[in-house]
Amino acid sequence: MTKRAKVSGSIVVGLGVALCVLAGCTSDPAEPDVAPTSATTAAGTPTPDAVEEGARHDILAAYNGYLEAYVKASATADYRTKELATYVGEPLLGQLLNNLFNMSRSGVHNEGRPTWSPTVTELRLDANQAVIQDCFDSTNWNTVGGKAQPTAQAKRYPVVVKAKRVNDKWYVYESTAQRSSTC
């Protein structure tokens, strides 16, 4: 064999090995094609289910944040709280601050802690709107001091809340308590 033939043969073998590596040829058995199992597509884009689940999480975080901020503010009847505006939009924000102002003026505040169990029951991502249904339990949350009047309303009652997304952030903006019913 001539020197030229040896070099040509080496180049052919080298190119064959390189092509095999580029094509994925190995001595190991090939792994089967498996569809992505995460909440993203192969291109890394979230699936519609993942987007909806993320929105539901954010909506409930806004609702829970609103209630936590209100419970905290009502413990001292703090109508100057800024924390509520993080989670609540108009007209509900004005209604809550007005209620806290009236509590302060009357010398009342809330003691104890309510519980709640919200669920997002409607979600319209195209319209940036959602509806939450909750069973609010104020059994261990009472108004005390000043001119607090006992009420005959139910301690556990359904609440329907509306939320909307503004600039990629969810806010609660309407809450309707059905205090004459129980849940």
Q: For 34-67, what is each residue's pLDDT tens digit?
A: 344 444 445 566 677 889 999 999 999 999 999 9
Structural domain includes residue 29: no
CA distance 115 to 135: 8
Structural domain includes residue 24: no
Residue 30: pLDDT over 80: no
Structural domain includes residue 11: no
The 8 Å CB, 24+ separation contacts for 67-71 are 67/114, 67/116, 70/96, 71/110, 71/113, 71/114, 71/141
Q: Check which CATH number belongs to the domain holding 149 and give it.
A: 3.10.450.50
DSSP one-letter code for 77: T
Which band of pLDDT confidence, cut at 50, 70 and 90, is reported for residue 10?
Answer: very low
DSSP one-letter code for 164: E
Rounded to whole angstroms, the maximal C-alpha distance in the chain is 111
Place of tokens 């308590």: 177
Structural domain includes residue 16: no
CA distance 61 to 67: 10
Name the packing angle between helices 48-74 and 92-106 (round to 10°): 20
Structural domain includes residue 156: yes
CA distance 146 to 149: 9
The pLDDT of residue 46: 66
The pLDDT of residue 2: 44
pTM across the whole model: 0.73
Q: For 105-152, what is each residue's pLDDT tens digit?
A: 999 999 999 999 999 999 999 999 999 999 999 999 999 998 666 677
Structural domain includes residue 143: yes
Structural domain includes residue 1: no
Whole domain around residue 156: which residue ranges?
48-177
Over residues 88-102, the mean pLDDT reads 98
Count of structural domains within the chain = 1
Residue 13: pLDDT over 80: no
Which band of pLDDT confidence, cut at 50, 70 and 90, is reported for residue 12?
Answer: very low
CA distance 162 to 171: 9
Q: For 149-176, what is each residue's pLDDT tens digit?
A: 667 788 999 999 999 999 999 999 999 9
* Cβ atoms of 130 and 170 closer than 8 Å: yes
